[in-house]
Each structure stands twice: as C-alpha cells, then as structure tokens.
A and B are shown apart, each in its own frame.
Chain A
Amino acid sequence: MSSLAIDDLSLSPFKNFAIFFSNHSFNLIVGTSGSGKTRLLKALAGLLKTQEKVRYNRTYIEKISFSKLQGKIGLVFPELLSSLSSFTVEDSLKNSLESFSYEKKEQEEKIKNMLSFINITGKRKKYIKDLSAFEQLKILFAVELIKEPEVLLLDEPLKKIVSKEEKKSFLKLLEHCYQKGLTIIMTSSSLEDTMLSSFTQLYILDHGNLILKGEPLEVLKKDSILNKLGLKIPFMVDLCVKLEYYKMVDEIILEEEKLIDKIWN
C-alpha cells in the first residue's frame, strides 16, 4: 500500500485543497508556472508544516517518524542537483545507501544493478557536474530509487531535457518502476509530456486549484478549459477534438495514418 492524500489544505496558494493519489498509480500533474506544483509535492513529501492535512496510507505524516517517511517517499527535485554535483556517480549512490546496513558486496551489487538499469555503466567515476543534463537527471532518480521507496515524487524532471527521445527514455524507466509497484507522482508544465508515456491519471493545477482530473485523454478533451489556462494541447489530440466537433471523427486517434484513413475513407 502506498497512497497519498491531502485534505482541506489551506497554505498559499492552496485554499481548502484536497487531492488523492491511489496506491500503485502513475500520476502526472500539469500546471503553469506559479500553479503550486512544487509546493504540492513538498507538502506530500512532508517538507512543509501542514498540521494533519497530509496522509500517507491513511496515517497523518506528522505521526510517521522522519526517517521512516524519508525511506518511503523518494524525492527527485532538480534543485537537489547542486548538492550532488561535486560527487562522483559512484559516491552519490554509496551515500544514498549509507543509512542501510548492507554488506559491501551487497552494496556493490545494488550500485551495479542500478547503473545498468539507468544505462550509465561507463561513467561510475565521473563527477556529476561533468555529466549531461539527461545523465544528471538519471542519477538524481537513481539516488532515490536505490533506497527502494514506495512513492516517488518528481518535480518537473523533464524541464531541462530538450530531446524527445531522452524524455521518452526517462519516462520508460518510470513506467518500468510503476509496473513493478511504485506509486509515481510527477509534475510538468507541458501537456506534451502526457503523450510520451502511459500515465494513469492526469491532474491540472492552476493557482492552487485542482481544475481537472481523470484519465489523461478525457482530461485533454477539455480544450476550452486548457486553452484558457494557457496550456498547449498536443497536436493529434487537438486535431481530433476539433474534427469531432465537425463530426468527422468520433474518437481520439493518436496515430496519423489511422486518422488519415478514418477521415478520407
């Protein structure tokens, strides 16, 4: 079990805010700058003083010991990179395992497996500051994942990743973890990210308000609301929603060829 819930939170920018993330779910929260995404993740991680408003598996986080909470909820916050940049890849993973009493051999095995999982095997001795933005993100992720948390919170992990292939590759890692049972909550300022993986739930946040939530394609169909918020709807979804309006299609088709056949056949 690894569900997270917030009830009646009133802490800027939130007012009487409530949200629920079910056990074993793959969630994406999208909002523009200032919508409260980072603050929401911080509240969920127990980094803010919330006074019995956040529950982890039905228990208020204040009632869970700090070290236990740290072990259960992993944080991938890009701002943590600066604290890691002067470490080598190997040292950062070793530090992460410090609080666990693993035998040297077992520790080495874990590091080896993790580096192979994130595909950074040849750069063990490299300083994190010398890695590419994509590799740095994978290390930040590995440092948390190696502690085997039950929930992983990721604050705009793809923000600095320009290549679509790299974005997809990172999301593939997350999807793999989700399929293994991890609950994942990730934020983004772009709806395009929705199309790059199989998120189970999409949440739209604006100025501390939860505007929309649900199965991703259903949420993306609400084009007028999303446009008002300044969010760009992914091309194929936008095209299908508009074609639906003119009764040229009756569903969202994400593959170009299929859509073309549907329109002109």
Chain B
Amino acid sequence: MEIRFSHVTLTPIEDTSFVIPKESLTAITGAGKEEALRFMAEAFPTKGNIYYNGEKKLKRNLKKYKKEIKYVGVDFEKEFSFENVYEYYIYYLRYHHIKVKDPSESIYNVLKIVGLEEKVLNDNLSNLSSSVLKRFQLSLALLEDSQILLLEEPFLSFHEKEIKEIFSILETLKEKFHKTIVIATEDHNLIYQYFNYLVWLKDKMVLSGSPEELYYQVEGKDKPEIVHFIQMVEEKKGIKLDHRKDIRDLIKDIYRSV
C-alpha cells in the first residue's frame, strides 16, 4: 500500500510532502519521524492529509486503518495482565476481534515468521529476554494480515547477528506477503546497509530516495561511517573509492589504491 503525505505539519517541518512506495522497506529518520509514524497509524495531522493508495485518510474509516495498519512501539506495553505467552496471544486475538480459523495455527505461524520456538508459549512474559520480547511484540502485529507495518526503533534490543535475522524476516514480509514496512530509526549505518528507500526529515526539509544516493549527495556528519570515510578520502587525497557497503570491499579498494 502506498502512503502519501500531502502538506502535513511535522514538527519542526511545517509543510511536508513525500511518498512511501508500496511494498517497500522504508526508513524514516530525523526530527519528526515519530510524529510521522503516529500520523500513519491512528492519529491525524492538524494540517495536511495522508493518503493510502490515493485514498484520503478520514476519521470515519478508522476501523479499516486499525485492521490494515499495525504500529510496533519502542517498548512493549502490556494491554492485559496475562503473564503466560499463549494466554496473551489468545486474549489478544479475542480483544482485537481478529478473525482466524484456528487460533493455535495462527499463533504457530507468526512464531515461525519471527523465528521463535513453540516452547516460548509456556513462558512467562516477564521472563523473556528483551530480544525475544521484541520478536513477540512483532508477532502480535502479524496476527492480522495487515498491509502496513510501522516500527519505531525496533533494533535497540538486538545484536548484529539478530539484526540480520530480523531484516531477513522483514524482507520476507515485504516480498512474500507484499507488506509496506516503515521503520523510524536514527541509525544511519543500518539504513545504509539494509534499506532500499529513505525518507530523511533533515533541517526543515524532506529528502527521499535511495539511501546510497542521499548519503553521498547530502553534506554533514550524520551519515554512515563508511560513507563518511570514503568521502573524506576523496576530499583529503583526491582518491575516488567505490561506494561500498561492506568493509571488506573497502579494504580491497584501499589496497589497490595505495
């Protein structure tokens, strides 16, 4: 589903217009990104409009958006007092009126997608490690077949290996299940490494496009370290190195250039 912001006020930018392509893995970064996520989810902007596949977001359609758009916050906020993981899933399905043929099957499916083992169903929520809890939080958003997934800084609990796994899950959701995934993050290294589209709320402007193009075009220090290094080599020594993402490729280029 394509998402379009039209003349929306996003503090500190007064008139923001940009498009998030459908079935993309888009990063949104810079001041105002959290507000943008909220407007894509349930809140409404005070100025301007948001369109989903060309259809204007209206208050009377809120129910529809609740089904189609899922927001995964920075923290897992318990909605119910259930401690057991399985019980929590079941009550979540009931409370949110999610229609499924077989609840257990749906739960097993989402567990599989997020890479959790079935034995986690017997665990206590308060005993889950932060990365398992984050996967569980993501799995709740997948119980309903929503078209848009909005995630706020989802990688704070993960180490490098797990981040790779999570991106592989997100890629599958995008490719196989045709989901549009928008992630708010300030981690430029991650954006450069994994995303194919970037919306950058930068200095009261909105820049959007391929992360590689934007990072090499825009001046400033808030960019991936590898990009900053490659640009500095050109600036200081006049040596043009290829735009690499992998440090091992960069090393080979350096070796050839000396």
State whether B254 touches A248 (Cβ < 8 A): yes
Per the bound structure, the CA–CA distance linking A232 and B162 in Å amounts to 11
Across the interface, do A231 and B186 meet the contact criterion of CB distance under 8 Å?
no
Query: Contact: A248 with B258, CB < 8 Å?
Result: yes
Contact assessment for B159 and A231 in the assembled complex, using a CB-CB cutoff below 8 Å: yes
Interface size bracket, B side: 35 or more
Q: Are A236 and B129 in contact (CB under 8 A)?
A: no
Q: Is A100 an interface residue (CB 8 A)?
A: no
Interface string of A115-130 (1 = CB under 8 A from B): 0000000000000000
CA distance A159 to B159 in the complex (A): 12
Q: Within 8 Å of chain A (Cβ to Cβ): is B35?
A: no
Indicate if A34 sits at the interface (CB-CB under 8 A): yes
Given the known interface contacts A33-B131, A163-B186, the answer about A235 and B159 at a Cβ–Cβ threshold of 8 Å is no
Closest to A228 in B: B161
- Answer yes or no: B130 CB below 8 A from chain A CBs: yes
Q: Which segment, of B38-46, B85-93, B231-239, faces chain A?
A: B231-239
Which residues of chain B have C-beta atoms less than 8 A from A34's C-beta?
129, 131
Judged by a CB distance under 8 angstroms, whether A70 is at the interface is no
If over half of A's interface residues share one DSSP class (helix, strand or loop), that class is named, otherwise mixed; here it is loop
Known A33-B129, A33-B157; contact A257-B186, beta-carbon cutoff 8 A: no
Cβ 8 A contact of A238, one of B75, B247, B254: B247
**Central interface residue in B132, B185, B233, by most chain A CB within 10 Å:** B233
Q: Which of A180-223 contact B (CB under 8 A)?
A: 189-190
* Residue in chain B with minimal CB distance to A163: B186
Docked complex: A21-46 residues within 8 A CB-CB of B: 32-34
Q: Can you give 19 contacting A-B residue pairs, CB < 8 Å?
A: A33-B159, A33-B162, A34-B131, A159-B130, A159-B156, A160-B156, A163-B186, A189-B157, A190-B159, A230-B162, A235-B225, A235-B226, A236-B225, A242-B247, A243-B254, A248-B255, A256-B228, A256-B232, A257-B236
Beyond A33-B131, A239-B247: 4 further Cβ-contacts under 8 Å? A239-B229, A242-B251, A248-B254, A264-B258
6 smallest A-B Cβ distances: which pairs? A230-B161, A232-B160, A235-B225, A33-B131, A32-B159, A33-B129
Binding site for B on A (CB under 8 A): 32-34, 159-160, 162-163, 189-190, 229-232, 235-236, 238-239, 242-243, 246, 248, 256-257, 260-261, 263-264
